[in-house]
Copies of this chain bind each other. A is one copy, B any other.
């Protein structure tokens, strides 16, 4: 069985997914939609697909699944529409920047019984997967403390920052998801500090560019996250998990692994300078996993609930910075009765 895909959004990340879908022997890119017709045409031509409107894809009998790469503020609406249209949905994170809107959306997904996967691509990085596997195999015993260092090569323009939902919702959200993925237990408390150290324009846009976050689970496991919007040495993405029997760490990735020695010392080249080259393999594996789920009609992970919780953690972090105290995640997500959205995971 070949899964027939429609791609919504032919921008930067849309291109990445178009390639991943086309390279996958079990998938076919059938249609591309984008408000910018030229972008849609170029991508469609490259992969032998058709240009269609979103509406046409919605009702097309030859489309099994969609990949949503449109602007963030359209995600929730599109997820609802395509859930109702009976398509499997892969949506770039976040579902929405507002926790309440996400909840409503996920309720629609649940009612429609749709398959929804949210694009936390890092879970599919081969190195981070190897970390997860080492934990699952018991190689480090019980997980106790997760350390995530996550720094972008360079700060985004202030314009982007304004639309981004802020550093916690835009950048740390990946690290929140990774912390949950590795802790293997739900996070209960969030404490955060944030500063503007890199670019004053980011501060003027009401956001931060440097952040430290501590997370704790009910049983007392911790995770710490260190974020910066700028690292001169490249895209710094490290993870370390300390457990009762040992520790496991994923090193940074660099495009070329040589070392030059001279009187100044031993120098290795900088890291990848772009998330797309760093996570090339992760994007391919992510789509492959989505295809697995669609084929086997099994629930996809990261699920919509995973997306919702990561967003709630981001909101808790922001509240912690503002109020100078540790925030219970339940303050954001509400009492347990309301947490049914989290059950789908």
Contacts and interface: CB of A to CB of B under 8 A. Distances in A.
Given A224-B212, A265-B268, A267-B267, A256 B126 contact: yes
Interface string A243-260: 011111111010111111
A216 B193 CA distance: 8
Contact of A233 (B210, B251, B262): B262
A96 to B, nearest CB: 29
A324 B216 CA distance: 12
Nearest to A151: B242
Nearest to A143: B197
A256 B214 contact: no
A134 interface: yes
Contacts of A198: 144, 244
A176 to B, nearest CB: 15
B248 A258 contact: yes
A149 interface: yes
Task: Name which of A232, A253, A270 has the most chain B CB atoms within 10 A of its CB.
Answer: A232
A28 to B, nearest CB: 14
A263 interface: yes
A221 interface: yes
A228 interface: yes
A196 interface: yes
A75 interface: no
Contact of A261 (B147, B197, B246): B246
B258 A140 contact: no
A130 B258 contact: yes
Contact of A250 (B142, B192, B257): B257
Nearest to A220: B195
B151 A149 contact: no
Interface in A259-315: 259-270
Given A222-B193, A266-B270, A232 B246 contact: yes
A191 interface: yes
8 A-B pairs with the lowest CB-CB distances in the bound complex, closest first: A195-B220, A246-B262, A233-B261, A325-B325, A324-B326, A267-B267, A130-B256, A212-B222
Given A139-B260, A233-B247, 19 more contacts: A134-B260, A142-B197, A144-B198, A144-B228, A145-B226, A145-B228, A151-B242, A191-B326, A196-B220, A212-B224, A214-B224, A222-B226, A246-B260, A250-B258, A253-B257, A261-B270, A263-B270, A267-B268, A325-B326
Interface of A: 126-127, 130-131, 134, 139-140, 142, 144-145, 147, 149, 151, 189, 191-193, 195-198, 210-212, 214, 216, 219-222, 224, 226, 228, 230-233, 236, 240, 242, 244-251, 253, 255-270, 324-326
19 contacts: A126-B255, A134-B260, A142-B197, A144-B228, A193-B214, A193-B326, A197-B244, A210-B222, A212-B214, A212-B222, A232-B244, A233-B263, A233-B266, A248-B259, A249-B261, A250-B258, A266-B267, A267-B267, A325-B325
